[in-house]
Amino acid sequence: MSNILCIGAGYVGGPTMAVIAKNCPHHRVTVVDINEAKIAAWNSDDLPIYEPGLLDIVHAARGRNLFFSNEIDRNIAEADIIFVSVNTPTKHFGQGAGKAADLQYWEKTARQILENSSSSKIVVEKSTLPVRTAEAMERILNSNNRGLHFDVISNPEFLAEGTAIRDMENPDRVLIGGRETESCHIADPATAEIYANWVPRERILTTNLWSSELSKLVANAFLAQRISSINAISALCERTEADVSEVARAIGMDSRIGPKFLRASVGFGGSCFRKDILNLVYLCEYYNLPEVARYWEQVVTMNEYQEKRFVSNMISAMFNSVAGKRVALLGAAFKANTGDTRESPALEVVRELLDEHALVVLSDPYALENARLDLGALADRVIFEPDPYAAANSAHAIAIMTEWADYAALDYKRIFASMVKPAFVFDGRNILDHRALYEIGFNVYAIGKPSLNHFINNGNC
């Protein structure tokens, strides 16, 4: 039996350790965090994050071999393997501000591990980190005269929110990067052994540390690049009367391109894509590769353009003004099946609409509390309404911001009847039946498709 510790009980640490505990009943898994309220929530039935399937797994393992605690020092002392999944936000000050990762939480954690250890340990980087962070961490950890040795392993997490449990239970691959030193040949198998309890060996990939750290950034950059690529084409479709869904289908059937991650949308969100790409951009600048930096930076620029374009389209469709008009935004989460609003395009649309003096109503089944926190002072100017029908009541426009399945199944006749006319719908996720909405009487605007509206001189309908 090993004592596995995870420092950081967030979106990554919590679900990852729950799945490890479930599949490794012979190991004791403890998750610690400085945030006492968060640990209390992990110990209750009201978990701090919404993730389908998570509560069942926590129920099965909690108190058996899965523990949540605030006692960081004691748990460090008792641990054999320490996963670190503390946050690494974008730095907002000094050199690299706006792009580089802020590693202060990571460094504090490394020092805390050193202070509280009386035996050698394996330290696993789970948070996304810039390439060569492990080197700095190893130096801090191994700067002791107590004969302690720490191996730093990179084991980036590829789970996506909303499908975290499925992704962890059945991963495409588990990546473990280690140094090619003598002791690391021992450390690598120890981390791999944990995953081998449920992941087929051929999917456990071992690389050198730097490849592993870089692969995480590159995987996210490639995924986001596909979305920005199709979103760029959506703008062209709107000008040419091509339909972006048809284009995506046509190109996705080419097995070299593949069909996934080609859904045009109001933009990508989430804690990783923007942060990791900017991190990659900063690395390229640091290593004096300006052309490479600009290439990847464009993926983020295109995403910002897509969010702004969505609001511009709303304004121009609604007779060039949304001032004083009630606009109901359906969805605050950055994607369906999560309560997470970090970098959510919905919140960017809220900010832009408030700038235009619209009366913004925000609806979501799980994410309103996070949305309120993320909006800060602006939250006072937003109406938060979990019920989509109440949100749409008396609105001039509704806009789909998150692809919650329930939003495709609403009674749109009822919604239309309760709205100010002419009534507008803007589908930022292309999940609605646009022709049916048009026939109800809505003026329909989707991403990358010709509009369907009832105004005269409209060539499209």
Q: Which of 265, 313, 337, 443 binds ligand UDX (CB under 6 A)?
A: 265
Q: Cβ closer to ligand UDX: 76 or 227? A: 227
Q: Cβ closer to ligand ADP: 11 or 310? A: 11
Closest contact distance (angstroms) between CB of 48 and ligand ADP is 8
CB 375 within 8 A of CB 350: yes
Q: Cβ closer to ligand ADP: 20 or 86? A: 86
Q: Which of 5, 20, 86, 262 binds ligand ADP (CB under 6 A)?
A: 86
Closest contact distance (angstroms) between CB of 279 and ligand UDX is 13
**Among ligand ADP, ligand UDX, none, what binds residue 105 when CB lies within 5 to 8 Å by partner kind?**
ligand ADP
Stretch in the footprint of ligand UDX (CB under 6 A) among 141-149, 194-202, 259-267, 445-453: 259-267
Chain positions 324 to 383 lying near ligand ADP, rule: CB under 6 A, are: none
Alpha-carbon gap, residue 439 to 444, rounded angstroms: 10
Closest contact distance (angstroms) between CB of 216 and ligand UDX is 8
Closest contact distance (angstroms) between CB of 50 and ligand UDX is 13
Q: Which of 38, 99, 263, 326 binds ligand UDX (CB under 6 A)?
A: 263
Q: Which strands, in side-by-side order, build the sheet including 443-446? A: 382-384, 359-363, 326-330, 397-400, 424-427, 443-446
Stretch in the footprint of ligand UDX (CB under 6 A) among 74-82, 264-272, 314-322, 445-453: 264-272
Q: Which of 48, 96, 130, 270 binds ligand UDX (CB under 6 A)?
A: 270
Q: How wide is the angle at C-alpha 50 spanned by C-alphas 329 and 333, nearest 5°? A: 20
Q: b/e for 208-233, b at 16 or more Cβ within 10 A?
A: ebbebbbbbbebbbebbbbbbbbbbb
Alpha-carbon gap, residue 205 to 288, rounded angstroms: 30
Chain positions 5 to 64 lying near ligand ADP, rule: CB under 6 A, are: 7-13, 32-35, 38
Here's the x/- map for ligand UDX, 203-242, by CB under 6 A: it reads as: -----------------x--x---x---------------
> Cβ contacts of residue 263 below 8 Å, gap of 6+?
227, 230, 248, 429, 430
> Cβ contacts of residue 435 below 8 Å, gap of 6+?
452
CB 303 within 8 A of CB 266: no
Chain positions 12 to 51 lying near ligand UDX, rule: CB under 6 A, are: none
Dihedral, 156, 161, 163, 164 alpha carbons, nearest 10: 40
Closest contact distance (angstroms) between CB of 201 and ligand ADP is 27
Chain positions 376 to 435 lying near ligand UDX, rule: CB under 6 A, are: none
Stretch in the footprint of ligand ADP (CB under 6 A) among 104-112, 139-147, 163-171, 315-323: 104-112
Closest contact distance (angstroms) between CB of 375 and ligand UDX is 17
State how far Cα 448 lies from the chain centre. Answer: 24
**Among ligand UDX, ligand ADP, none, what binds residue 263 when CB lies within 5 to 8 Å by partner kind?**
ligand UDX
Identified catalytic residue from 24, 184, 237, 272: 272
3-state secondary structure of 157: coil
Chain positions 214 to 273 lying near ligand ADP, rule: CB under 6 A, are: 271
Tokens 């690299």 found at = 96
Is 237 marked active-site? no
- For residue 121, which of 83, 181, 79, 183 has the smallest C-alpha distance? 79
Q: Cβ closer to ligand ADP: 13 or 428? A: 13
Bridge partners, 318 (sequence order): none
Q: How wide is the angle at C-alpha 46 spanned by C-alphas 43 and 48, nearest 5°? A: 80
Helices vs strands, H then E, count in the chain: 18, 14
- The CB-nearest residue to ligand UDX is 270
- For residue 349, give Cα distances in angstroms to 308, 334, 354, 400: 8, 12, 8, 11
Cis peptide before 422 (omega within 30 of 0): yes
**Among ligand UDX, ligand ADP, none, what binds residue 96 when CB lies within 5 to 8 Å by partner kind?**
none
**Residues binding ligand ADP: what is the number (CB under 6 A)?**
21
Alpha-carbon gap, residue 8 to 33, rounded angstroms: 5
Query: Does the footprint of ligand ADP cover residue 109 (CB under 6 A)?
Result: yes
Q: Which residues are catalytic?
A: 272
Binding site for ligand UDX (CB under 6 A): 157-161, 220, 223, 227, 261-263, 265, 268-270, 272-273, 334-335
